[in-house]
Structure formats: structure tokens, C-alpha cells
Amino acid sequence: VSGPLDREAAMHTQAPHSADLSNLWMPFTANRRFKAHPRMLAAARGMYYTAADGHQVLDGTSGLWCVNAGHGRQPIIDAISRQAAHLDYAPSFQIGHEDSFLAASEVAALMPDGLDRVFFTNSGSESVDTALKIALAYHRARGEGQRTRLIGRERGYHGVGFGGISVGGIAPNRKAFSAVLLPGVDHLPHTHDLARNAFSRGQPAWGGEPFADALESLVALHDASTIAAVIVEPLAGSTGVLVPPRGYLERLRAITQKHGILLIFDEVITGFGRLGAATGSAFFGVTPDLITLAKGISNAAVPAGAVAVSRGVHDAILDAGAGGIEFFHGYTYSAHPLATAAIRATLGVYRDEDLFARARALSAPFEEAAHALKGRRHVIDIRNLGLVAGIELAPREGAPGARAAEAFGKCFDRGVLVRYTGDTLAISPPLIIGEDEIGRIFETLADVLATVD
């Protein structure tokens, strides 16, 4: 193989390690390319990773958008250790443990009014599939079992369950499995409009109503009586930081409400402070019927996720249960004691350090620092909201994604972790970050972009 990928590979820091790399099949990774030139992390504390070769790497991405309070937080470590020694596991079905109820109440307290019923999962993908099943069960419980159609969005990412890839809008995640995607799924158009909205600061001014009105077209096409739910990320992260145009989410809410369609916000990224509020729903002032959560819920210290459900949806399903099991769904590790301990300690750190307000206060200097890259080589768009930014690069001829991949590698070698998705570099630092480190992330990016062909 020759070309840009080799050039990128040649720049990798060769991390010292003694492991045989052949057994592990890495997720969402070019395995052969990675294993030829592995980059490894060995430790983490606060805002920094230590790479396997010893160099410090500023975590500009909160891991995978999940370590919102920074790494190695003592209250979380202590809570997990205590719980492991005290109650390592309790069955999640037909029996309870107190921490699971306390964790649910504490999560509920951070949700918009009325979304105070909480179902625990272990990941974002599980949260999405759970939310879709709740939507179907809700309509059936109300005698509207013909409402089975699910509507997602192009460039949506909702994890990798069969439900999630079906409503998701990322072609490579779907194509290889097409024969068994869920039937009866449709997609809204994505909201990214480079021609009209490039270099918008915060929410783009153009497009809210036209993009959302595409839902009316789908309703006209399929009839509202066949549609169960619409699922969108309030801000799409994994597909390149797509910020909703002003008015878009409000209009989606109005249309779904008008037609009795449930609205699900996938807040796996936007939940727990990323935008400077507990949820994207609170930030945008738009309340859906269900919210999917994961990542920041436990600061990623233990895998965990949840679905916050409106009382109305919850009660309709329980009312139809006739005293038996109301919802035939759950995981062995729903509300795992280690997860609920991590969740409670994490929410305590967010509260004690007022980290959502901190993220809100930092979002202005963060926006300034991100937009200072305007005019740099290759940069064709900069998008931001709260403590998340996307820097889109013009694709290299014949090698889409290669430029961003090269920039990612060079940033890592210079001690800054960013993420790339297609030709967009995504930045989403821990909420404990300061202005100096924010400056360092974007200055490193500026230096690196000057060296990327």
C-alpha cells in the first residue's frame, strides 16, 4: 500500500508494548493499519493521558465524548471500589438494590420536567434499542399497534444495535448488514448545509424550518397513524458535529406532537454537560418524550446507560400490564451495582464542581479559540456549541478522510488527542478544562494543519 495512509503511518509514535496484537479484533478500527503502527494509551489522570511511550497527551475528546469530569476522579474510584467489595452484583430482574433506585432518582432530577422514569442499560446502543422498543410498546399499549414506523435522520448515529443502525444514517454501518435492517424505517434529511451555514458560530441561522418540515412530508407519505417515533441527536456528534439550525428542534417537537408521534432525543453525547446544561433538551428548551443517555452518565468509569422516559409513556405501558411484567426487556447488567455507584459518584462530582455551569462559561472562549482556525490551510468549516467543535477540512483529492487522519496522528504525537470522522476533526474536552488548555488544543491544530498537505 502506498499513498497518504503510509505517510500518516510513518509519523506514528511507535509505542513500546509486549502484547501480541493479533487476538484482539478492534471495533471501528482499520485493524491491519493500526496493528502495523499501534498507538497506545497507558494511563490517565485529570485532563491527560499518558501514552505507552511516556508522552503526555491532553485529552481533547474526553475519551470518546464520555469522560466529562476528567480521568481518575477520586470520588468515583472510591465509590466503585467500595461497591465492588460491598455488593458486587444483584440480579436486575424481580429484585432490587437501593443504589439503583437512588441512582434513578438522581438521574431523573437532571432530566427535563416530566421525564422522570429511568430504565438502566449498559451503553448508548442499548439505550437506543431500549427507547425504540419503549416507543413501540407505548403505542401498542394504547391500542395503536399499527404505529410501527421509526424515523431517523441521515448522518444520525445511534449506536450499533439493529435498531440503532436502522434508524441511523451512516451508510457503512448499514450496508454490510442490509438484509436484516428493521423494515419500515425512514430518514429525515441531515441538517448540514455547507453552502449556507459555513463558519456559523453556535446554531446556524438558516434551515430550521425547512429541514424540520421534511417530517411533514414523511407524515404525508406514510400517514401519521403508522409512525411510532422520530429519533434524532439534538446535536449530531459522531458524524462531524452537526449543530441544529435555530428553530429546528422546536419545529420537530411541534410536528411530532401534532401527530401523536413520540420524539426521542439521543443525548448519549449531549447529556451531562457537554453543551453547558444537564441535557441538550434543557439547553435548547425543547422537551422530547424519551432521552437516551450513556457516556457521561458514569464518566465512563463503568459502562452505563439509561433511558429517561416521560411519565405518560411509562404509565401507559404499566397500565396495560395487567399486574404482570409490563415490559419484556432488560439486561443482566441493568443497574449493575458498580454502574449505579459510578453514576451516583459522577453526578456528585458534576454537582459539587458545578461542571455544567463551568462548561457554559467556557463555551465563549472555546468558540473564539475554535473559530481562530478560520483561514487556516484546508479549513472549510468550523462548527461549535458548548464544549464541542468540529473543524471540517477539504478532502484530499482521491483520499477522503486522509487529511483529518493525518492531522489526528500529528496532534497525538504533539500531545493533543483529537478525533476525526470523515474529514472533520472533533474536539470535546473534559468540562474541567481551562482556557490555557483550550488554547493549546487549537494552537496545536493550527500548527499541525500547516504541515498537512
Question: How large is the angle between the packed helices 124-141 and 311-319, nearest 10 degrees?
Answer: 60
Within 127-146, which residues bind ligand PMP (CB under 6 A)?
128
Indicate the residue whose CB is closest to ligand PMP.
124
Q: Tell me whether residue 304 or residue 379 sits nearer to ligand PMP (CB atom).
A: 304
Within 367-426, which residues bind ligand PMP (CB under 6 A)?
none
In the list 238, 299, 384, 444, the residue contacting ligand PMP (rule: CB under 6 A) is: 238
Q: Tell me whether residue 161 or residue 208 sits nearer to ligand PMP (CB atom).
A: 161
DSSP labels, 387-432: TEEEEEEPPBTTBTTHHHHHHHHHHHHTTEE-EEETTEEEE---TT
Using CA atoms, how far apart are residues 223 and 241, in angstroms rounded to an integer?
31
- 148 lies in the binding site for ligand PMP (CB under 6 A): no
* Cβ-based burial of 213 (10 A; exposed 0-12, middle 13-18, buried ≥19): middle
| Bridge partners for 50 per DSSP | 43, 56
CA dihedral sign of residues 282, 285, 289, 292: negative
Q: Tell me whether residue 306 or residue 373 sits nearer to ligand PMP (CB atom).
A: 306
Using CA atoms, how far apart are residues 412 and 27, in angstroms rounded to an integer?
20
- 157 lies in the binding site for ligand PMP (CB under 6 A): yes
Question: In this chain, which stretch among 89-97, 219-227, 230-238, 440-448 interacts with ligand PMP, using CB under 6 A?
Answer: 230-238
Q: Which residue has the cell 422537551?
A: 287
In the list 8, 129, 266, 367, the residue contacting ligand PMP (rule: CB under 6 A) is: 266
The answer to whether 223 and 151 have CB atoms below 8 angstroms apart is: no
Within 82-101, which residues bind ligand PMP (CB under 6 A)?
none
In the list 61, 83, 100, 123, the residue contacting ligand PMP (rule: CB under 6 A) is: 123
Q: Residue 179 has what DSSP assignment?
A: G
Q: Tell me whether residue 269 or residue 411 sits nearer to ligand PMP (CB atom).
A: 269
Question: In this chain, which stretch among 37-45, 120-128, 336-344, 441-449 interacts with ligand PMP, using CB under 6 A?
Answer: 120-128
Nearest distance in Å: CB 168, ligand PMP: 8
- 273 lies in the binding site for ligand PMP (CB under 6 A): no
- 233 lies in the binding site for ligand PMP (CB under 6 A): yes
Show the CA angle centred on residue 294, arms to residues 243 and 342, nearest 5°: 135
Q: Tell me whether residue 333 or residue 373 sits nearer to ligand PMP (CB atom).
A: 333
- 39 lies in the binding site for ligand PMP (CB under 6 A): no
Q: Tell me whether residue 219 or residue 268 sits nearer to ligand PMP (CB atom).
A: 268
In the list 152, 159, 244, 276, the residue contacting ligand PMP (rule: CB under 6 A) is: 159
| Bridge partners for 309 per DSSP | 117, 290
Q: Which residue has the cell 396495560?
A: 320
Residues in the chain: 453
β 419-421/424-427 pair status: antiparallel
Report the Cα 386 to chain-centroid distance in Å: 14
The answer to whether 231 and 128 have CB atoms below 8 angstroms apart is: yes
Question: In this chain, which stretch among 79-87, 206-214, 266-274, 349-357 interacts with ligand PMP, using CB under 6 A?
Answer: 266-274
x/- contact string, 288-317, with ligand PMP (CB under 6 A)?
Answer: ------x-----------------------
Interacting residues with ligand PMP (CB under 6 A): 123-125, 128, 157-159, 233, 237-238, 266, 268-269, 294
